[in-house]
Each structure stands twice: as structure tokens, then as C-alpha cells.
Structure 1
Amino acid sequence: MPTLLDDLSNAASDSVERLRATTAAVRVMFTWLGVRKTLSAEQKSQAAETFGAERTYLSAGKKLLDTSHPSFKAVTSVRTQILAYWRNVSLPFPEPGIRLIRQVMIEGFSLQLTTFRQELEESVRQLETRYDELKSAARRRLGSLYNASDYPATLRGWFDVSWDFPSVEPPNYLHRLAPQLYEREAARVAARFDEAVQLAEQAFTEELAKLVSHLTERLSGGDDGKPKIFRDSAIENLREFFERFRQLNVRSNEQLDSLVSDARSIVSGVQPQQLRDDAALRQEIATQLSTVQATLDGLLVDKPRRNILRRGKG
């Protein structure tokens, strides 16, 4: 007769297989100009003498460009947007630099990354027009540490983004050439996807708990008898989470699915201005969200035990 442990194990196995069947690995890579450089041995010796220190115990470097300059910040802003987008449309995977994306989203992902690459190229072109100015500023600030050879003649080719969809499954030819090795690799990949399911579940739980906690705190009580100020983003961020959860959820935890549904229902149709204007509504929403938050906190505390249950069979 099936037990609760069997049901949990079967549900976890279904989630793993679903994840493997519907997602692809995606990797985003950057070519990026380094703006810091370690001092030469001679320069480190001079610095050590200033402090009466031994050179081998001293670590020192120099900053080549002013990264706070608006033109440079525009370039780094594009990189930040790319990383945020990549993380928002994908799930974690327990291998460095790799995340999982729904196969149906691959085309849209590539189109968006192409747009980002064009924006990056344009921002680099703008930075190029200020490059001489930035080098002149560095020459003034670095003094004798300035070295023209530290700087490329042009910034073209020094900033770029690329992406690919590497296979994380064992190669088919391995099954023919080395069956035992193939089986070991297949088991390793299965374990990776099992961990990916847990990572996704944990990430969604932690994010929802953070968003619900923040909104509840903003709605509860007040400062000096007045309602606390909260921004529209407190509601908007929750709704963005609901949409991302709908797209990426691996359906590995019925309790989490239920909590997301409850939170969505609580704020459904509620506008930020209504919460500012209606104290009774504000208190009602806060009370309902507090119940969701308490259960989420329990999920986070109980996570080690649930992992044991999920891994208990096999």
C-alpha cells in the first residue's frame, strides 16, 4: 500500500522529469574590460617602503578608469539589465554559470539578448567618445602609476555579451562506447535536476516570503499614528512574481502552489491607491497576508526535514 513517503517521492520524481523534458540549459557570458590592475613588483616595493612593510605581505592595485562616469555607468547598466533578465526568465541549476529556461521561451530569449547586445554596442560607442577624457583623468589621478600600455587603443571588442544553450545530458555516443560510464553520467544528471527542483522551490519560497513580508509590514500599523508609506512597487513586484511563477513553476510543492494562489487572490484587483485611502481594506489585506507569511516562514524553517523526505526513497 503506498505511503506518504512514496507519494512524496513520486511527486518529486515527476517534477524532475517534467523539468528535464521542458527546459534547456542557458548560459550568458560577457567579455568585459578590466578596470583594475595589480601594481608591478617595483611599484609594490615602493609602496611597501612608504609603510615600512615587506613587499610580499602587501597587496596593491590601481584603478584604470573612473567607473562612476555616466558613460561608463551606461555600459554597466546594460550588463545589469541582461543579468536581471536572464535570472527572471530562468531557474537555478547546480552548475556554475548555467540556468534552465523553458524550451518555448528560447526564441524570445535570444531576440531579447540580441536587443540587449545592440544596446550594449551603442553604449560602448558613446563611451568611446569619452575614452580620451577618461584616460586623461586617470593620468592626473594616478600620477607616476599611470601607464599608457594599460589601455587598449580602442574599446571596440572589449565589451560584449554572448549566450548559448549547452547540453547537460550525457551524450548518446557514450551509451554505445561505455555503457557503465553512461549510466553513471545519467545518474549524475538526474541528481543535478533533482537539486534544480529543490533550488527552484527554495528560490520561489524565499522570494514570495520576502515580498509578502514587505507588503504586510508596510500595511500594518503606522508611524506616529499615520499609515506607513509604501510604494506602488510593493504590489507590482508581487504581481510580477505571480506571472514568473506561472511561467516557471515546476509544480514540485502543492503547499507552495496553494500559498501563491492565496496571495494572488488576496491582492487581486487591489490598487495601491485604494490601500492608501482605505484603512479598513489596508488592515484586512495585512491580516490575510500575515496568515500566508506565517505558513511561508514555516516552510522555510521546515525545509531541511522536507529535503530528507524527498530524498528518503531510493
Structure 2
Amino acid sequence: MSVTLETSEQQNTRPAAPQAETSVGERLQSETTAVRLKIHWPSARKTLNTDQKRQAAVTFDADTKSVSASKKLIDTSHPAYRALTSVKTQATEYWKSNTLPYTEPGMRLIRRSDVPTFDVHMTSVRAEMAEAVQQLEQHYDELISQARERLGDLFDPSDYDSNLSDQFGIEWDYPSCNPPEYLLRVSPQLYYSECARVQQRFDEAARIAEQAFAEELEQLVRHLSERLCGEEDGSPKVFRDTAVTNLLEFFDRFQRLNIHSDEQLDRLVADARQIVSSVRPQQLREKTDVRQRVASELTRVEASLDGWMTDRPRRSILRRAR
């Protein structure tokens, strides 16, 4: 019997055993966590009660069961209310622009490295909302008085809560997407079955993210291309700077959130970015040759995007079969 001994150097240079390739969904699961945003916001309208709907139906000689009516409780165009709405919009847009879609309603995926920054920003937004609520409270009696005049007999003091701070608010949390650990002790088979189900959700989330990015890029590219190619009264269409800046913002967001799940989509985004980043809005207005060149190149990108999305269902099937 012969025994062959390997030196440590030979052992280190020996090829490692091949490892299973990590799927996009698995990578997405390892790099992100779920974040849920909850905004408490009272309705500015209230459905009329049965007697009020009956009166409304009589006015139009209609069947009560066929009438649906509501009353507007507060003037939402008041500057104080609009300021509060602006904070709400800011919170929602920040949540969406810094996360990826997920399959569960009300939940999105955020990179784990971005959680501290997200938490700090949302804490600041929550403080802004609390301040905006205080400003609204200063005008609340005035708004109620206006509602009494507008609503007439439909006015009901009980529709108005005296404590606005309990009506408006922002909350967020980071719910786990994984099955609970105790399930492994109770039923390993069920636990691993749940793990597989969660993995399918992340695979689907990756597909949804791809689709969302592609659709947004196509919409932005088409809008700018139409502005550059089209004419109104024989003159080039006028376009706002946002037709360009919105694309630039998309490129930055794509770079931050890209999960690199599709090389062709990455190339299409890179092509569009190179085209748009090389020009300024004023150049597109003043220089016909630049305008025509950019329009032609964007049309090419748009056509490639259309082809990518048309072919996508087949590529998705092939990817899952691997």
C-alpha cells in the first residue's frame, strides 16, 4: 500500500470544489430587509347617513339604494392642510425612491446598509409632520367654522376630533420576511417549505424590480424623445428641464438600487445615461444637430427596451429552469 502526501503549498493550490451559483433572489434576500411605512391620516370626507342619502335621492327622484354621497369635512386647499399633505407626500416618495418593490402589500425592500440613513431621515420627516399638525391646529377652529357654513344641515360637530395629534402620524418598521425559527424545532419539513416559499417571493421581487425599472426608463425616454422629435406649428416642441433631470435622477436611483439581475437591462440603462449625460437642456433647445442626434439615439434605446420587455417572459422562464 502506498500513501501520497501533499505539502501545504500543494493543498492550497488545488482547485476548490465548485459551489452552487447564488441566484438573484438569494442575493436580494441576503442584501435587503423589508420596510413597512404606515401613515395615519383621517379622511377628509364622510359618507352621508341613511336619512341624508334618502333626502338626496328624493331631490333627483332616484332610488336610495342607487345613490352614494359624501360630504367634505374640511377645506383641503387651506395652506396649513396643504403643508401637512406635502410632508405626507415627501415621506411616501422617500420610502419608494430608496427601496425596491416586494410581493407583500405595504412592504418594500431596503438595502441593509441604507437602514440607518433611512431611519434618520424618516425621524426628521415625522418631526416635520408633528410641526405641521401644530400649524393646522391653529387654524382648526376657522376650518370648522367654514365647514359649518358650507355644509348647512349636513354639518355635525361630532365629525371633528378635538385632538389632531392623534389623527396624523408616521410609523415605520422592519418586519421579518423569514419563517420563525421556532418552526424549525416544531416541524423541520414545514420550516424548509416556508423557506422555499420565501425564496420564491424574493425571486418574484427581483422580477418585479426589473420590470419597474424598465417601464420607468421607457416612459422617461419616450417622453424626452417625443419632445425632441415632435413639432408644434412648424417649430420644435418646447420641453422643460425636468424631461432631462428626471432621467438623470432615474439613473442615480438605478445605480443605488440596481440588483444586477439582467445584463441587457444594465447595458440599456448605461446607453441611455451616456446619451443624456453628454448634453444639457439648453443645448437641446438651441442646437438642432444635437437635438436630432440625441433623439435618434434615444429612439434606438427605446426600441431595444421594447424588445427586452417583449422577450422578457421567455427569458424569465429560462432563468427559473436553470
Q: Fold match, TM over 0.5?
A: yes
The structure showing larger relative contact order (alpha-carbon pairs under 8 Å, at least 6 residues apart) is: 1
Please list, as runs of the form range in 1=range in 2, the aligned pairs for 1:180-191 lying within 5 A after superposition: 180-191=189-200
For residue 7 of structure 1, what is the aligned residue in structure 2? none
Q: Matched residues in 1 for 2:162 and 2:149: separation? A: 19
Q: Which of 111, 115, 122 is 2:124 aligned to?
A: 115
Aligned residues: 304
Q: Which of 33, 50, 61 is 1:52 aligned to?
A: 61
Q: Give the letter for the 1:227 counterpart.
A: P
Q: Matched residues in 2 for 1:248 and 1:133: separation? A: 45
Report which of the two structures shows the higher radius of gyration computed on alpha carbons: 2
Q: Matched residues in 2 for 1:249 and 1:69: separation? A: 40
Q: Matched residues in 2 for 1:194 and 1:83: separation? A: 25
Q: Matched residues in 2 for 1:11 and 1:269: separation? A: 41
Query: CA offset at residue 312 of structure 1?
Result: 3.3
- Worse-matched range after superposition: 106-115 or 297-306: 297-306
Q: SS of the counterpart of 1:62?
A: strand
Matched, 1:27 2:25: no
Structure 2: segments with no counterpart, 5+ residues: 1-18
Q: Sort the Cα spacing of 1:178 and 1:48 in 2 relative to 1 into closer, same or farther, 3 A.
A: same
For residue 84 of structure 1, what is the aligned residue in structure 2? 93
Structure 1: segments with no counterpart, 5+ residues: 1-9
The sequence identity of aligned pairs, in percent, is 54
Q: Which of 253, 257, 262 is 1:253 aligned to?
A: 262
Q: Is the 8 A contact 1:11 1:252 kept in 2?
A: no
Matched, 1:154 2:153: no
For residue 152 of structure 2, what is the aligned residue in structure 1? 143
For residue 5 of structure 1, what is the aligned residue in structure 2? none
Query: CA offset at residue 54 of structure 1?
Result: 3.7
Please list, as runs of the form range in 1=range in 2, the aligned pairs for 1:117-136 lying within 5 A after superposition: 117-136=126-145
Q: Is the 8 A contact 1:12 1:252 kept in 2?
A: no
Normalised TM-score (structure 2): 0.89
For residue 71 of structure 1, what is the aligned residue in structure 2? 80
Matched, 1:283 2:292: yes
Query: CA offset at residue 11 of structure 1?
Result: 11
Q: Sort the Cα spacing of 1:229 and 1:87 in 2 relative to 1 into closer, same or farther, 3 A.
A: same
RMSD across aligned positions (CA): 1.8
Cα deviation, 1:8-61, whole Å, max 9, x if unaligned, reads xx9995211110011110000011122211222222233333333343333222
Q: SS of the counterpart of 2:176?
A: coil
Q: Matched residues in 1 for 2:108 and 2:20: separation? A: 22
Q: SS of the counterpart of 2:29?
A: helix
Q: Is the 8 A contact 1:12 1:310 kept in 2?
A: no
Q: Matched residues in 2 for 1:268 and 1:50: separation? A: 60
